[in-house]
Structure 1
Amino acid sequence: MPEHKHEHEKKTFWVVLLTAVTMVVEIIFGLITNSMALLADGIHMGSHVLAIGLSWIAYIVVRKVSKNEKFKGNSDKILSLSGYSSGLMLLLFAFVIMVEAVERFFNPVDIIYREAIFVAIIGLMVNIASAFLLHHDHEHSDHNIRAAYLHVIADALTSLSAILGLTAAMIWDIPFIDTIAAIVSSLVIVRWSVGLLKDSGKALLDMKNARAEHEHHHH
């Protein structure tokens, strides 16, 4: 088992833990303070907990499989497969945000701004910490760690857009800024997830190897 994969496994574990704890806190406070924003943020975090959890499990599977002589496949494909699945989740996540934003646009809710902003900031801090944890050398990158990283960054982006949107709405009383911010961040997330799906999909279909061999024959 290469050292960096083991590192990745430990890192993803910590991020799963951190994200899960934050999610629970947000959901509890969301219920107590009756804040939809908190509840929604907590539920979003839940989708990332699942995705990053998937990445973490993928590393465990690779570690177990690489010890097993019976396994003849390419264990790195497990990481690509996990990254691909995670990319699909990310895409779904982006659409959920869009739908929510549009609904919010047509049915504005009364927001208790201060605590909503406060929690969004906590969420952002957790995501920034997670992003630092998951930051990896480019040469040691794989689709799996990239997927986990993108989920964390996507979450940070939505937290940030929530903070900006809420603050603007609070100061200038323009509630729809929140909607615009949310839609912009979901479009960015769509772009990331499509990139991830393309790259991990290519790896799963061995498309890179095919091209390399093709050139090899010609020379």
Structure 2
Amino acid sequence: MEMNQRKMSEKRTAFVVVFTFIVMVAELGVGLYSHSMALTADGVHMGSHVLVLGLNWGAYVLVRRLQKKGNDHYDGDKILSLSAWTSGIFLLLMAFFIIGEAVERLRGPHVDIATGQALAVAAVGLVANGICASALHHHHADLNSHAAYLHILSDLLTELGVIIGLVCAMLWDITFIDAAVALIAACVVIRWAWKLLHQTAVALITKQ
């Protein structure tokens, strides 16, 4: 049963990686062709997802190949937990980066936001992350799959916050809402990341 669940998690994680890669290529291509910096930047952002989620996928591939070779020198569960722990570190770094950007925006002068273009990009990201989150939802056979889901969920939360902030800026010219919502989202992500790091640390140091 555990083997089948792990195989299913690998397939779903692989789908998310490939789908995110396709969205990344599409955004970069259209962004460069249309000279849209917002779309190009989001394409680069999607690239970071491909790298982190690719780590989760790679952990499954490594464990599967070791088991296929009958290699008993490595603990597959520990490998997956280590991958999840690394994802937790990336989640923390992402949250701290968001906090830094939000604080700088709050302390800086009023800026004009190209809300129309930014909303379109945020909507693309929201739909893409929604599809990925749906693929990974309720299929957490281990901490590695749970880490991949949290990474997608954190970005989904961030994209939702961006849309709320942009709508407030467009309708009422309240630009600080964008940064305030980002701060709230970052705090939620930190809580998720800290819990994930605690769970993976326990799994790594506990003797099987």
TM-score by length of 1: 0.86
Structure 1 spans left out of the alignment, 5+ residues: 210-219
Distance in 1, matches of 2:52 and 2:4, equals 23
Distance in 2, matches of 1:191 and 1:27, equals 32
> Would the aligned equivalents of 2:10 and 2:57 in 1 still touch at CA under 8 Å?
yes
CA RMSD in angstroms, aligned pairs only:
1.9
Distance in 2, matches of 1:101 and 1:28, equals 28
Aligned partner of 2:129 in structure 1 is: 127
- Is residue 168 of structure 2 the alignment partner of residue 168 of structure 1? yes
Aligned partner of 1:183 in structure 2 is: 183
* Partner secondary structure for residue 2 of structure 1: helix
Larger Rg: 1
Aligned partner of 1:94 in structure 2 is: 95
Change (3 A) 1:152 1:170: same
Distance in 2, matches of 1:108 and 1:26, equals 28
Equivalent in 109, 112, 117 of residue 110 of structure 1: 112
Compute the displacement of 1:107 (Å): 4.6
Distance in 2, matches of 1:184 and 1:23, equals 26
Distance in 1, matches of 2:78 and 2:3, equals 15
What is the letter of the counterpart of residue 125 of structure 2?
G
Compute the displacement of 1:108 (Å): 4.4
Matches within 5 A, 1:128-147: 128-137=130-139, 141-147=141-147
Matches within 5 A, 1:21-60: 21-31=22-32, 32-36=34-38, 38-60=39-61
* Partner secondary structure for residue 57 of structure 1: helix
Distance in 2, matches of 1:196 and 1:150, equals 9
Matches within 5 A, 1:195-206: 195-206=195-206
Compute the displacement of 1:111 (Å): 2.1
Compute the displacement of 1:87 (Å): 0.6
Aligned partner of 1:69 in structure 2 is: 70
Compute the displacement of 1:110 (Å): 2.7
> Would the aligned equivalents of 1:91 and 1:189 in 2 still touch at CA under 8 Å?
yes
What is the letter of the counterpart of residue 52 of structure 2?
A
* Partner secondary structure for residue 75 of structure 2: coil
Distance in 1, matches of 2:92 and 2:146, equals 15
* Partner secondary structure for residue 174 of structure 2: coil
Distance in 2, matches of 1:100 and 1:29, equals 26
> Would the aligned equivalents of 1:35 and 1:111 in 2 still touch at CA under 8 Å?
no
Q: Deviations over 1:132-155 (max 9, x none)?
A: 111134xx5311000100011011
Distance in 2, matches of 1:187 and 1:47, equals 20
Change (3 A) 1:101 1:46: farther
Change (3 A) 1:206 1:142: same
Compute the displacement of 1:33 (Å): 4.7
